[in-house]
Structure 1
Amino acid sequence: MDYKQASDNDLWQCCQQDDMHAYNELFSRYYPRMLQLARRYVRDAMSAEELCMDQLFHLWMKRAEITIATSFSGYLFRSVRNRIISEMRRNIPVMAGLDELQEDAQLDRSSDYRLLSREAEHAYRQVLNELSPQRRQVFMLSREENLTYPEIARRMNLSVNTVENYMVAALSCLRKNLKEKVPTAVIPLLLLSDFTNTLL
């Protein structure tokens, strides 16, 4: 089998049959992109590396149990986003401010967080829809499909420089408008996208 030319799905099927060579090929294909994604949100480089390594190690250890109904890359990057969000939730005081509103009450933090996340997701979608169609498409291709700028440029028939400009403008607009609608600490989680699906 030519592992370099094999599709992701073929390699994954081989992994499920304990083929380490197939796993190593998937690792080499996706680890750099996973790390690039993690480093956008996890400040400590070592933590970002550990997060990605843990996810790939988990994939191998649970290979017989994991069923991937969608694309392999889609599954992998959603899994990484879940781990990034979990890491951020441990390190960012998302609930700051709610205690001040109900100092004398015992908060149910789980239900409060779910309520906050629903409201934040709604605000995020509103702000996203206010972007121009091309800026919104660039942002979604980057965040939801994890495409690189050159890949987005080819898909949209744009220059890489134009894609970069659209992305900078989209992020600037989203951050500015979200600050008016949701707690500052939640904004990095929203900009990871897939917010509702991963948190609720």
Structure 2
Amino acid sequence: MTDNELAREIRDGNQLAFTMTYDKYHKQLYAFAYRYARNGALAEDIVQYTFLKLWETRSKLLPASGLAGYLFRIAKNRTLNALRDYIPTQSEYRETVTSASEFLPDLERHNLMEQLDKAIEKLSPQKIAVCRLKIHEGLSNAEIAERLGISVNTVKVLYHQAVTQLRKLMKSGYAILLVLLVSR
């Protein structure tokens, strides 16, 4: 069956056509979501959401518009929403890696902190300020927002963007960065 035929059948409520579409696009959508989310469970949730949304909105499906494009648009929007909505807090980092930080010798922690500080210096001025206040002074998002005269949401966005950039800049890996972020 072509995508146009599958879309027409799904729009008419044909569950077999829906299953065929799932079988055809599941792996591609998973790979797409995983590439951005970097989390298998989240990528699978995005795929499940995509197919749920397809079924729920099947009456609006336009077969000539392209089934694949429709599915990937749903997956892209869901992925962006998931990434936007999930900005880990310092306490979430702490819960994740508290025991891991105990294994880092003080000298190694000091060296890694120096690497982190050098990487932070490569960020924009606002991101540097947010990182220093959060990491070195341990301030909450609300306290940082008040001190910098910006909104709490802006602090969250800047910190999330900074962490994303730091993950790329740090050669020691994401897990070490997490340990550093909670060890100060």
Q: TM-score, normalised by structure 2?
A: 0.49
Q: Which structure has the bigger radius of gyration? A: 2
Q: TM-score, normalised by structure 1?
A: 0.46
Which structure has more relative contact order (CA 8 Å, sep 6+)? It is 2
